[in-house]
């Protein structure tokens, strides 16, 4: 199989050199070329025919957003990874890029990092993202797919919605959350793999687009119906019943599946607290985070919906659940919100309250 060809677009000579050396050290990858600005990149794409483009956000002339917009017009399916700074400005523009069709993003190493550690970080993270986007991640794609026939009818009333997602998740959440009605009758807890600051800005962005409240989670918050809490970057999120309320907790226990926050951590706690009254949704994402947690939801009698492969940027996370036979329903992204609304509405009564558990 030929190596994956990557076009590196960045106005910094240092960053172009760093990325070029990182790519050269990975046999599965090949540097297709470099470009110092967006105009040069657009001219080079038909010449070098890359499989993936890495794209800086801040560039003279055509900036990253403008270049991405042109790439999406000309090459709708070409994977693009934004190269972002870990700042509020960088995070905000990265979220805008993801909403405009960027496939994924990578944060630039901090100035405090040594060159060796920067190279190792970039090589590890960039390689994983590229191989997943082009379908070469064998850990994700090698398992046989088995469709579950666990349930043919609705189970217990749903009292909580738990969502896990990663690569492609911000855009998927922007498709799902704003479609939920203002009187959505249960609380919603979300893990989106993102660093600190990014998760707060994602929550603010979704809150501005939605009929229900969306917040970055804070320790000690009681769950309320019709409110979405997104786990903050670098913190696991769990829930625990306390008297008549269910409370959010945050911790910095070791990463699971190389992730913090991790979907598995959230799903386990939701399964313990809500058992068969749990609806878990797993959407697009790299790797298999959420699969073990989904097994806990399944064992507790809860239900699991997943996004289908054609509408996922990367089908690693939902695909792992389907392969394990844990999916109760497999939906295109555009149908998930209606399926969730339908399932949450089944079997409800006036005395069922998601935040008042005996």
Tell me how far apart the terminal alpha carbons of the chain are, to the nearest angstrom: 58
- pLDDT for 22 equals 86
| Cis omega (within 30 of 0) for bond into 261 | yes
- pLDDT for 312 equals 96
- Residue 78 sits at φ, ψ, to 5 deg, of -75, 120
C-alpha 153: how far from chain center? 29
Give the active site residue among 11, 51, 118, 193: 193
* pLDDT, the chain, mean: 90
- Enter the tokens of residue 329: 């329903």
Question: Is 308 an active-site residue?
Answer: no
The top-level CATH class assigned to 4-136 is alpha beta
Give the active site residue among 289, 308, 323, 337: 289
Contact 128, 26 (CB under 8 A): no
C-alpha 134: how far from chain center? 17
Query: Strand order of the sheet with strand 278-282?
Result: 213-216, 227-230, 188-192, 160-165, 278-282, 303-307, 329-331
Predicted confidence band at 315 (pLDDT cuts at 50, 70, 90)? very high
Predicted confidence band at 350 (pLDDT cuts at 50, 70, 90)? very low
The per-residue pLDDT for range 58-115, each reduced to its tens digit, is 898 899 999 999 999 999 999 999 998 878 888 999 999 999 999 999 987 766 556 6
Q: Is 160-345 in the same CATH topology as 4-136?
A: yes
Contact 54, 7 (CB under 8 A): yes
Question: Is 166 an active-site residue?
Answer: yes
As beta bridge partners, residue 216 has: 230
Q: How far apart are alpha carbons 283 and 163 in whole angstroms?
A: 8
Give one DSSP letter per residue of 261-307, joined into a string.
Answer: S-HHHHHHHHHHHHGGGEEEEE-S-SS-TTHHHHHHHHHTT-EEEEE
DSSP 177: G
Q: How far apart are alpha carbons 16 and 14 in whole angstroms?
A: 6
Question: Is 20 an active-site residue?
Answer: no
Q: 């690569």: which residue's tokens?
A: 167
The top-level CATH class assigned to 160-345 is alpha beta
The per-residue pLDDT for range 116-164, each reduced to its tens digit, is 776 787 788 999 999 999 986 644 433 333 444 455 345 799 999 999 9
Q: Provide the residue ranges of all domains of the chain, joining segments of one domain with +.
A: 4-136, 160-345
Percent of the chain with pLDDT over 90: 77
Give the active site residue among 36, 166, 269, 337: 166
Q: How far apart are alpha carbons 287 and 75 in whole angstroms?
A: 26
């Amino acid at each position: 199989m030929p190596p994956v060809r990557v076009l590196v677009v960045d106005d910094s000579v240092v960053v172009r050199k760093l990325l070029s050396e990182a790519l050269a050290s990975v046999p599965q990858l090949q540097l297709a070329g470099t470009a110092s600005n967006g105009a040069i990149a657009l001219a080079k794409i038909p010449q070098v025919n890359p499989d993936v483009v890495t794209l800086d956000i801040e560039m003279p002339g055509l900036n990253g957003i403008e270049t991405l917009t042109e790439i999406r017009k000309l090459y709708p399916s070409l994977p693009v990874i934004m190269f972002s700074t870990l700042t509020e400005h960088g995070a905000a523009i990265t979220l805008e890029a993801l909403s405009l069709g960027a496939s994924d993003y990578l944060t630039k190493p901090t100035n405090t990092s040594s060159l060796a550690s920067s190279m190792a970080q970039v090589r590890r993270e960039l390689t994983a993202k590229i191989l997943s986007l082009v379908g070469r991640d064998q850990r994700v794609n090698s398992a046989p797919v088995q469709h579950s026939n666990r349930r043919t009818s609705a189970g217990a009333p749903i009292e909580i919605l738990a969502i896990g997602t990663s690569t492609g998740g911000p855009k998927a959440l922007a498709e799902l959350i704003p479609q939920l009605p203002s009187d959505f009758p249960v609380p919603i807890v979300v893990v989106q793999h993102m660093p600190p600051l990014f998760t707060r800005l994602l929550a603010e962005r979704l809150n501005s687009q939605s009929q229900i409240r969306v917040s970055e989670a804070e320790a000690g918050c009681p769950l309320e119906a019709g409110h979405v809490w997104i786990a903050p970057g670098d913190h696991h999120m769990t829930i625990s019943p306390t008297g008549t309320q269910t409370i959010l907790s945050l911790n910095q226990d070791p990463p699971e599946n190389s992730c913090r926050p991790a979907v598995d951590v959230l799903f386990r706690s939701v399964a313990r607290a809500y058992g068969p009254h749990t609806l878990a949704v797993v959407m697009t994402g790299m790797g298999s985070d959420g699969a073990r947690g989904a097994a806990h939801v399944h064992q507790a009698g809860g239900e699991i919906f997943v996004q289908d492969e054609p509408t996922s940027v990367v089908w690693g996370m939902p695909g792992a659940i389907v392969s394990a036979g844990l999916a109760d329903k497999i939906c295109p992204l555009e149908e998930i919100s209606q399926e969730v609304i339908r399932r949450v509405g089944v079997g409800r009564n006036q005395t069922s309250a998601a935040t008042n558990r005996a």
